Structure 1
Amino acid sequence: MSDYQQARVALGMRLRELRMAKSLTGAQLARLLGWTQSKVSKLENGKQTATAEELRQWAAATDHPHVAEELTARLAGLESHVRSWRRQLAHGHQSVQENINAEFDRTRTFRAWEAAMIVGSLQTADYARHIFSRYADLHQSPRDTEAAVRARMKRQAGLYETGNTYRVIMWEAVLHARLCPPSVLAAQLDRLTGVIGMDTVELGIVPFKAALRIPPANGFWIFDDRLVITEDWHAELWVDDSAGVATYLKVWDALSESAVYGGDAHRIITRASRALDAR
């Protein structure tokens, strides 16, 4: 069982303890709250995560309103590692971008791997605009696209700060992914060629034909050697334990061995750009 699941089960046990202290059955509590009995059962058994408001309602319904702060603190600790998109995007993408920007501001060495799209810190505004729109469609989240784009663009100031190092590797597939109109992708590819040679950026491309030591799975950022942020379809995962970070460093090293840099990377990007023009 993962640390996240263990924490959710522990929270569920605490909720059950509060219900039983009030001598309520699950069905009785469900009626008080206007919920289904299955929801109460899932929360108590760690099969579902309550919202902060639901925890406050539970505390009040069991005559333990003073425990609401404890419960929401447990939830905050649980979600500090696994942050569901449903919760994070409740008010749009801007706040998510600002939270990540805070981590960029306190980091000097960045390592990134991306197999699906251009790494955020190297995106053009137009490209980022299409990415945010795609995810807003998926999650049915508020469309604060322009604010989210501005927040992401702020991050790029770090590319020009002395002392920062960006070690970015991407699979060749990202150069061809039609997540935006051809004209936008063409400008994005031109942007990538422009960062090759910057003293703060080491850009590597893993060619389609490269021998791979490990499957090119989901993308991730490593912030110094203290934090990893990676994404799945349902949630964003923040990894800060030393063993977890070490695993991602090992993955990054394995993928970087398959990458090409400098002139070789430039030629692959140029080839992708020409292929785009030819269609």
Structure 2
Amino acid sequence: MPSPSPSSSVQQARQALAGRLREIRLDAGLTARQVARFCGWHESKCSRIEHGRKVPSQEDIRSWCTACGADDQVPDLIAALRAVDSMYVEWRRLERSGLRHQQESRLPLYERTTRFRAYSSWLVPGLLQTRAYTAAVLHSIRRQAQLPDDVEAAVASRMERQRVLYEGGRRFALLVEESVLRTSVCDAAAMVGQLDHLVTASFLPSVSLGIVPMGPERGRWPVEGFWIFDDERVNVELVSGYLTISQPREVTEYARTFTELSAMAVYGRRARALIGAARSHLHETDQAEPAD
């Protein structure tokens, strides 16, 4: 029996996989005993798999689908299985070797990706962050998690990763909630620099920068931030961990969500107007604060 997952999302993914296998069996008109007999298993193994108490192996999935005449579903089910085992990594595990290692470990994924889609409801996306903004974010993470201080090296690694923006053959569609523009995670001067950098980035030929305006009349409320790498993988940043999704059906769902959010965003001159308004608001707020 697998150990309990620290994430309810992972447990739900396990249950979803179990439910799909049960549906395949029922659609084939077979009993659990018949599937077990075909696969050469004890009948209790089918029950444990269907109730999510046992995570099947890839070979188990192949045998199950062959028994049920559903070999065409094997690739998607195996992708779901891999997602169950690798989708969730606690922040503590990611940061065990320090923030620098966490940043460097993502570089190969960025280098092999040609189409980036990202939505951020909390922070400016990493590829568009300035050095000062990144430093403020990583210093905050280091303090909260009580990690060794390798922030300077981690910042340098993230800045190095941004070179993919300027290398040919890549496209970047980046969505940011307007509230992110008005959330200061650094001092006023650094935040002004970050907003100015967003304006500059919006002119890059490979970048489509969309700002989702604040307001009550919207078809979809903000969701957790996520990145889609080509059509192969989604990374979702949660409070407690880092979710990696590779199951085609779920990747498609995130792509659909991104499309819906994209339709709500503004671009070009209208996006830069919202950035300018946030910059003006920041300046006014800074001027209004009483001196110590």
TM-score (norm 2): 0.69
- Please tell me whether residue 200 in structure 1 is matched to residue 206 in structure 2: yes
The correspondence for 1:180, drawn from 186, 195, 210, is 186
Task: Give 1:105-184 correspondences, 5 Å limit.
Answer: 105-184=111-190
CA distance in 1, matches of 2:256, 2:215: 22
Structure 1 residue 105 displacement after superposition? 0.4
Give 1:167-246 correspondences, 5 Å limit. Answer: 167-209=173-215, 211-246=217-252
* Amino acid in structure 2 at the alignment position of 1:127: Y
What letter corresponds to residue 284 of structure 2 in structure 1? A
Q: C-alpha displacement at 1:154, in angstroms?
A: 1.1
Provide the C-alpha distance between the structure 2 equivalents of 1:266 and 1:6, rounded to a whole number of angstroms: 40
Q: Which runs of 4+ in 1 moved over 4 A?
A: 6-9, 76-79
5 Å-filtered alignment, 1:52-71, equals: none
- Cα separation, partners in 2 of 1:257 and 1:182, compared to 1, 3 Å: same
Please give the alpha-carbon distance, in whole angstroms, between the structure 2 residues aligned to 1:139 and 1:77: 26
The one-letter code matched in structure 2 to 1:85 is W
Q: Is the 8 A contact 1:90 1:142 kept in 2?
A: no
Find 1:89's aligned residue among 87, 90, 95.
95
Query: Where does residue 23 of structure 2 map in the other structure?
Result: none
TM-score by length of 1: 0.72
1:273 is aligned, of 270, 274, 279, to: 279
Paired AA for residue 121 in structure 1: L
Return the offset for 1:99.
Answer: 1.8
**What's the secondary structure of 2:106's corresponding residue?**
helix
Q: Are residues 252 and 105 of structure 1, via their aligned partners in 2, closer, same or farther at CA, if it must alter by over 3 Å?
A: same
The percentage of counterpart residues that share the same residue type is: 35
How many equivalent pairs are there?
215
C-alpha distance in 2, partners of 1:108/1:194? 21
CA distance in 2, matches of 1:80, 1:131: 26
CA-based RMSD of the aligned residues comes to 2.4
Tell me, in whole angstroms, the C-alpha distance in 1 between the residues paired with 2:210 and 2:83: 36
SS at match of 2:175: strand
Amino acid at match of 1:238: T
Query: What is the distance in 1 between the residues matched to 2:109 and 2:225?
Result: 17
Distance 1:140 1:190, change over 3 A: same
Structure 2 portions without partners, runs of 5+: 16-52, 54-81, 286-292
Secondary structure (helix, strand or coil) at the match of 1:90 reads coil
Which range moved further: 255-264 or 90-99?
A: 90-99
Alignment counterpart, residue 261 of structure 1, candidates 254, 260, 267:
267
Deviates more, 1:104-113 or 1:85-94: 85-94
CA displacement, residues 219-275 of structure 1 (integer Å, 9 cap, x when unaligned): 010000000011111110010110110111011111111100000001110111111
**Consecutive unaligned residues in structure 1, runs of 5 or more:** 10-45, 47-75
Aligned to 2:33: none
Q: 1:211 to 1:161 in 2, by over 3 A?
A: farther
The answer on whether the counterparts of 2:83 and 2:246 sit within 8 Å (CA) in structure 1 is no
Query: 1:161–1:210: structure 2 CA closer, same or farther, 3 Å change rule?
Result: farther
Provide the rounded CA distance (Å) in 2 between the counterparts of 1:123 and 1:215.
24
Partner of 2:49: none
